[in-house]
Structure 1
Amino acid sequence: MRKITSIVFILFFLSSIGYAQSELSIEKIMKDPKWMGNFPSNIRWDDQSKHIIFNYNPEGNPSDSLYKIAVSKTDQIEKVTLEEQRAFIPSFANSNLAQTKKVYVRNGEIILVEVSSGKKTSLLNWGDRISTPRFLANENRISFESGGNLYVLDIDSGKINRVTNINSGNKRISREGSKINDREISLREENLELLQVVKEREENRESSRAYREATAEAEPFAYYLGDKSASSLQLSPDEKFTTFNLITRAENKRTVVPDYTHVSGYTTDINTRSKVGDEPTKVELALYDIQNEKVTIIDASTLPGIQDLPDYTKDYPEKNWEVKDRNVTFSSPIFSNDGKFAIVNIRSSDNKDRWIAQLDLNTAELKVLDRQRDEAWVAGPGVGSAYGGGTLGWLPDNKHIYFQSEESGYSHLYILDVTTGSKKALTSGKFEVFNPFISKDQKSWYLTTSEVHPGERHFYKMPLMGGKMEKLTSMTGNNDVSLSPDEKHMAILYSYSNKPWELFLKPNNAKAESKQLTSGQSEEFKAYNWKDPELVNFTAQDGASVPARLYKPNPEKSNGAAVIFVHGAGYLQNVHKWWSSYFREYMFHNLLTDLGYTVLDIDYRGSAGYGRDWRTGIYRHMGGKDLSDQVDGAKYLVAQHGVDPERVGLYGGSYGGFITLMALFNEPDTFKSGAALRSVTDWAHYNHGYTSNILNEPFNDPIAYKRSSPIYFAEGLKGNLLIAHGMIDTNVHFQDVVRLAQRLIELEKDNWEMAVYPVEDHGFVEPSSWTDEYKRILKLFNTTLLD
Structure 2
Amino acid sequence: MQRKLLLLPVLLFILTEATAQSTLTVDYIMRDPKWMGTFPSAPFWSEDGKQIYFKYNLEKDPVDSLYKIDLSSPSQLSKVHWGEEKMLSKEQVDFNADQSLRIYREDKSILLEDRKKKSTTTILTWVDPISNLQFLANENLISFNSGGNIFIFDRESKTVTKATNISTGSKPANGTSVSSEPTSFLESENLALLQVVNERKEAQKQSRAYREAIREKSTEYVYYTNGKNLNNLQLSPDGKYASFSVFTPANNKNTKVPDYTAASGYTEDLNSRPKVGTDPSKVEIGIYDLTRDTVYFVKTSNLPGIQDLPDYVKDYPERTWEAKDRELTLSGPYFSPDGKRAIIQVRAFDNKDRWITELNLQTGELKSLDRQRDEAWVGGPGVGGGFGGGVLGWLPDNQHIYFQSEATGYSHLYLLNVTTEEKKPLTSGKFEVFDPFLSKDKKHWYLTTSEVDPGERHFYRMPVMGGKMEKLTSMTGNNEVVLSPDEKKLAIIYSYSNIPAELYVQDVKVGATPQKLTSGQSEEFKSYAWKDPQIVRFTAQDGAQVPARLYLPDPAKKNGAAVIFVHGAGYLQNVHKWWSSYFREYMFHNLLTDLGYTVLDIDYRASAGYGRDWRTGIYRHMGGKDLSDQVDGAKFLIAQHGVDSGKIGIYGGSYGGFITLMALFNHGDVFKSGAALRSVTDWAHYNHGYTANILNTPEEDPIAYRRSSPIYFAEGLKGNLLIAHGMLDVNVHFQDVVRLSQRLIELKKDNWEMAVYPVEDHGFVEPSSWADEYKRILKLFNTTLLEEKP
Could you tell me the percent identity over the aligned residues? 66
- Stretch deviating more after TM superposition (162-171 or 58-67): 162-171
In 2, the alpha carbon distance for the partners of 1:733 and 1:304 equals 40
Whether the aligned pair in 1 keeps the contact of 2:172 and 2:212 (CA below 8 Å) is no
Residues 104 and 111, structure 2, Cα contact 8 Å, conserved in 1: yes
The offset of 1:353, in angstroms, is 0.4
Partners of 2:11 and 2:218 lie apart in 1 by 96
Inter-partner Cα distance in structure 1 for 2:746 and 2:223: 60
Q: How much does 1:207 deviate?
A: 15
> Which residue of 1 is the match for residue 427 of structure 2?
427
Secondary structure, aligned partner of 2:593: helix
Retained in 1: the 8 A contact 2:153–2:160?
Answer: yes
The 1-side partners of 2:594 and 2:502 are apart by 27
Instruction: Quote how far apart the aligned CAs of 1:229 are.
Output: 3.2
1:694 is aligned with what amino acid?
A: I
In the TM superposition, 1:269-288 aligns within 5 A as: 269-288=269-288
Distance 1:208 1:122 in 2: 37
The answer (yes or no) to whether the contact 1:17–1:559 under 8 Å persists in 2 is no
Q: Deviations over 1:370-404 (max 9, x none)?
A: 00000000000000123222111111111111100
Alpha-carbon distance, 1:249 to partner: 1.3
Q: What is the aligned-residue RMSD (CA, Å)?
A: 2.5
Residue 107 of structure 1 deviates from its aligned partner by 3.1
* TM-superposed deviation, 1:716: 0.6
What is aligned with 1:667? 667
Give the TM-score taking structure 2 as reference length.
Answer: 0.92
**1:11/1:715 CA distance change after superposition, 3 Å:** farther
Matching residue of 2:195? none
Q: How does 1:95-134 map to 2 (within 5 A)?
A: 95-115=95-115, 119-134=119-134
**Preserved CA contact (<8 Å) 1:277 1:692:** yes
The question of whether the paired residues in 1 share the 8 Å contact of 2:474 and 2:511 is answered with no
CA drift of 1:508 comes to 0.5
* CA pair 782-400 structure 1, distance change in 2 beyond 3 A: same
Equivalent residue of 1:284, what SS? strand
Specify the alignment match of 2:264 in structure 1: 264
Whether the 8 Å contact between 2:137 and 2:338 is mirrored in structure 1 is: yes
- The superposition leaves residues 293-336 of structure 1 with CA deviations (integer Å, 9 ceiling, x where unpaired) of 11111110000000000001111011100000111111021111
Distance 1:176 1:360, change over 3 A: closer
Q: Summarize the alignment of residues 291-690 of structure 1 with structure 2, pairs less than 5 Å apart.
A: 291-690=291-690
Q: In the aligned structure 1, how far is the partner of 2:23 from the partner of 2:257?
A: 40
CA distance in 1, matches of 2:208, 2:625: 78
Compute the displacement of 1:18 (Å). 4.1
Deviation for aligned residue 1:81: 2.0
Distance change in 2, residues 1:215/1:583 (3 Å): closer
Once the two structures are TM-superposed, the CA of residue 687 in structure 1 deviates from its matched residue by 0.6
Contact 2:178-2:208 at 8 Å conserved across structures: no
2:719 matched to 1:719?
yes
Is this contact kept in 1: 2:254–2:271, CA < 8 A? Answer: yes
The whole-number CA distance in structure 2 between the counterparts of 1:431 and 1:235 is 38
Q: Secondary structure at the match of 1:495?
A: strand
Give 2:734's aligned amino acid. Answer: F
- Contact kept, 8 Å, 1:353 with 1:372, in 2: the verdict is yes
Letter of the aligned partner of 1:469 in structure 2? M
Q: Once the 2 structures are TM-superposed, how far is the Cα of residue 486 of structure 1 from its aligned partner?
A: 0.3
Counterpart code for 1:134: Q
Q: Is the 8 A contact 2:331 2:345 kept in 1?
A: yes
> Contact 1:94 / 1:103 at 8 angstroms: preserved in 2?
yes
Cα distance in 2 for residues equivalent to 1:747 and 1:529: 46
- Comparing 66-75 with 501-510, greater Cα deviation is found at 66-75
Q: Pick closer, same or farther for the CA change 1:120–1:739 going to 2, 3 Å.
A: farther
Alpha-carbon displacement from aligned partner over 1:585-606 (angstroms, at most 9, x marks no partner): 0000000000000000000000
Q: What aligned pairs does 1:112-261 form with structure 2 within 5 A after superposition? A: 112-115=112-115, 119-173=119-173, 217-226=217-226, 228-261=228-261
Could you list the per-position Cα deviations for residues 410-464 of structure 1 after superposition, in whole angstroms to 9, with x for gaps in the alignment?
0000001111001100000000000111111211111000000000000111111
Distance 2:642 2:440 in 1: 56
> Aligned letter for 2:249?
R
Distance 1:121 1:13 in 2: 82
Q: What is the Cα deviation at residue 142 of structure 1?
A: 1.7
Tell me the equivalent position of 1:193: none
* Alpha-carbon contact 1:104-1:132 (below 8 Å) kept: no
The 1:208–1:42 alpha-carbon spacing in structure 2 relative to 1, beyond 3 Å, is: closer
Q: Could you say what secondary structure the match of 1:74 adopts?
A: coil
Residue 709 of structure 1 aligns with which residue? 709
How many Å apart are 1:100 and its aligned residue? 2.5
Contact 2:347/2:388, CA 8 A, preserved across alignment: no
Q: Following the alignment from structure 1 to structure 2, what is the Cα–Cα distance between the partners of residues 775 and 408?
A: 46
- The 10-residue stretch of structure 1 (681-690 or 359-368) with the greater mean CA deviation from structure 2: 359-368
Q: State the 1:85 CA deviation.
A: 1.3
| Contact 1:229/1:248 (<8 A) preserved | no
- Measure how far apart 1:98 and its partner are: 1.4
Residues 44-91 of structure 1, C-alpha deviations (whole Å, 9 max, x = no match): 111221111100111111111111112222121122222221221448
8 A Cα contact 1:355 1:368, kept in partner? yes
Cα distance change on mapping 1:117 and 1:34 into 2, 3 Å: farther
> Distance between the aligned counterparts of 1:507 and 1:285, measured in 2?
44
Q: CA offset at residue 369 of structure 1?
A: 0.7
Distance 1:110 1:10 in 2: 85
* Code of the aligned partner of 2:298: I
Trace 1:27-46 onto structure 2 (pairs within 5 A). Answer: 27-46=27-46
Q: Deviations over 1:197-233 (max 9, x none)?
A: xxxxx9xx99998999699852522222236432111
Residue by residue over 1:714-760, the C-alpha shift from the partner in whole angstroms, topping out at 9 and shown as x without a partner, is 11111111111111111111111111111111111111111111111
Aligned-partner residue type, residue 681 of structure 2: T
Secondary structure of the 2:164 match is coil
Q: Deviations over 1:559-587 (max 9, x none)?
A: 10000000000100000000000000000
C-alpha distance in structure 2 between counterparts of 1:525 and 1:475, whole Å: 22
Taking a change above 3 Å as real, the CA distance of residues 131 and 212 of structure 1, as seen in their structure-2 partners, is closer
Q: 1:222 to 1:546 in 2, by over 3 A?
A: same
Structure 2 residue identity aligned to 1:686:
Y
In the other structure, the counterpart of 2:770 is 770
> Amino acid of the residue matched to residue 430 of structure 1?
K
Displacement of 1:607: 0.4
Q: 1:763 to 1:9 in 2, by over 3 A?
A: farther
Once the two structures are TM-superposed, the CA of residue 359 in structure 1 deviates from its matched residue by 0.7
Distance 2:231 2:312 in 1: 35
Deviation of the 1:120 alpha carbon? 3.5
Structure 1 residue 158 displacement after superposition: 3.3
Kindly provide the CA deviation profile for residues 446-486 of structure 1, in whole angstroms up to 9, marking residues without a partner as x: 10000000000001111111111111011000011111010
Q: Is the 8 A contact 1:18 1:596 kept in 2?
A: no
> Structure 1: 5+ residue runs without aligned partners?
180-201
| Alpha-carbon shift at residue 497 of structure 1 (Å) | 0.2
For 1:60 and 1:398, how far apart are their aligned partners in 2?
51
> Is contact 2:176-2:212 (8 Å) kept?
no
- Deviation of 1:94 (Å): 2.1
1:196 match: none
* Amino acid aligned to 2:276: V
Structure 2 counterpart SS, 1:75: coil
- Do the aligned partners of 1:621 and 1:708 also contact (CA within 8 Å) in 2? yes
Amino acid at match of 1:784: T
Judged with a 3 Å threshold, the aligned counterparts in structure 2 of structure 1 residues 10 and 266 are, in CA distance, closer, same or farther, namely: farther
Rounded to whole Å, the distance in 1 between the matches of 2:567 and 2:232 is 36
SS class of match (1:333): strand
Q: Secondary structure at the match of 1:239?
A: coil
Distance 1:696 1:208 in 2: 53
Amino acid of the residue matched to residue 278 of structure 1?
A: T
Amino acid of the structure 2 residue aligned with 1:55: K
